[in-house]
Amino acid sequence: MSKYQTLTVVTVLATLILIAVGSTVRTTESGLGCPDWPLCHGRLLPPLERAPIIEWSHRTVAAIVGVLILVQAIWTVRARRADRALTALAVLSLPLLAIEAYLGRITVERELPPEVVAIHLFAALTLIALLALMAGFAYQGAARTRIDTPERRRFTHVALWAAAVIAGVLVIGTYTVATEAGFACNSWPGCPQAVIPFLDGGRLQNIHWLHRLTVLLGAGAVAWVALHVRDMREAGPALRRGAWWLVGLYALQIVIGAGNIWSAMAEGVRVAHLVVGSAIWALLILLAVAGRYRPGLREARRAVAPEVAGGVRA
């Protein structure tokens, strides 16, 4: 693994950590722990209180991620200019980063309106999708070639549609948390407060049921991707492993979602729910890339054993 490839992976992981810390801010109701921005109570360091420290930690991790994205963009433009797709993504990451920072500021200044919180997460998901694309392209190398067969084109379309569905599930889930509709049903899989979706209960139960039903839609999208990979004649081991990971992560995500209800929305369970969901989204983006491109010769040599690499060179 080259230093540049390592940087792309670290940046994706750091962004997932940022999403986890952001979720911690929401679940602990620490979003207004620092009522001003970019300072915290008019100071660089927060008061020694729980809410300000959690919110300040979120801002600190966001600053670290910002530096990583900036360094990655500069490195890409200077050293990877020949890879036009990678360079375009690197340049695009900077305005996306600025938009995400602006939304974070607006979220604090407007005192956490649910709509802005959901948009803030959607921007974060867009950013991590772009960073996952960069990591995928970096690993495949500038000499990667597109596999332009009908089977691979269909798979790419399926993966991208599934990613769009998962993005919707995550945004609606965030809106559910922001409106406190997660507490509207105290049982799973049923809901005593609204036995029949959208007919019984009130506004919060409707939002809660909307999230549950979109989760089922997401399960169908993930199954669609996995079945497509299973039936592909050209699917390699990496693509098949990725599909199995996708199914496993989504099954885990459903269990964690049920755990939210069973644990009365425990903070740790809620954070895990968002992090696993974000990982599923990033994995779908990577699968879409892996299914459409073949790595360059140099990257292919690195992926095989040394004794096989000699045969590749021959």
- Which two tokens mark 182? 């997660």
Asked if residue 205 lies in contact with residue 184, where contact means CB atoms within 8 angstroms, the answer is yes
Spatial separation of the C-alpha atoms in residues 194 and 19, rounded to whole Å: 31
Q: What is the pLDDT of residue 112?
A: 63
Question: Which one, of 93, 85, 89, 126, lies nearest residue 285 by Cα?
Answer: 126
d(CA 72, CA 6): 11
Residues 291 and 154 in one domain: yes
C-alpha to C-alpha distance for 263 and 310, rounded to whole angstroms: 55
Q: Which of 107, 142, 177 is the last residue of a domain?
A: 142
Looking at residue 139, its pLDDT comes to 85
209 & 249 share domain: yes
Whether 73 maps to a domain, the answer reads yes
Question: Is residue 9 domain-shared with residue 109, that is, in the same domain?
Answer: yes
Closest CA to 174 of 235, 108, 93, 113: 113
Is 89 in the same domain as 162? Answer: no
Q: Strand 293-294 relative to strand 145-146: parallel, antiparallel, unpaired? A: antiparallel
Q: How much is the pLDDT for 222?
A: 96
3-state secondary structure at position 194: coil
DSSP 43: B
Residues 280 and 178 in one domain: yes
Q: Using CA atoms, how far apart are residues 288 and 160, in angstroms rounded to an integer?
A: 7
Instruction: Give yes or no: residues 127 and 153 share one domain.
Output: no
Domain range spanning residue 243?
Answer: 146-299
Domain membership flag for residue 253 = yes
User: Which residues are within 8 A (CB) of 113 and not within 5 positions of it... i.e. 6 or more apart?
Assistant: 107
pTM for the full model? 0.80
Please tell me whether residue 310 adopts helix, strand or coil conformation.
helix
Six-digit token string for 86: 């990678």
Q: Give the C-alpha separation, 147 to 309, whole Å.
A: 22
Distance CA 268, CA 256 (A): 10
Out of 100, 124, 142, a domain closes at 142
Q: Is residue 313 part of a domain?
A: no
Domain count, the chain: 2
Query: Among residues 86, 109, 142, which one ends one of the domains?
Result: 142
> Please, are residues 208 and 187 in contact by the beta-carbon 8 Å criterion?
no
- In order along its 314 residues, the chain shows pLDDT tens digits of 789 999 999 999 999 898 888 888 877 878 778 888 778 888 888 888 888 999 899 889 999 999 999 999 999 999 888 888 899 999 999 999 999 888 877 776 676 677 777 788 788 888 998 999 999 888 888 888 888 888 888 998 999 899 989 988 988 887 887 788 888 999 999 999 999 999 988 999 999 999 999 999 999 999 999 999 988 887 778 888 999 999 999 999 999 999 999 998 888 898 899 889 989 988 998 888 888 888 765 554 554 444 444 444 43
* Helix (H/G/I), strand (E/B), else coil: 40: strand
The pLDDT of residue 310 is 43
In a domain, 311, yes or no: no
Query: For residues 92 and 213, what is the distance between their CA atoms, to the nearest angstrom?
Result: 34
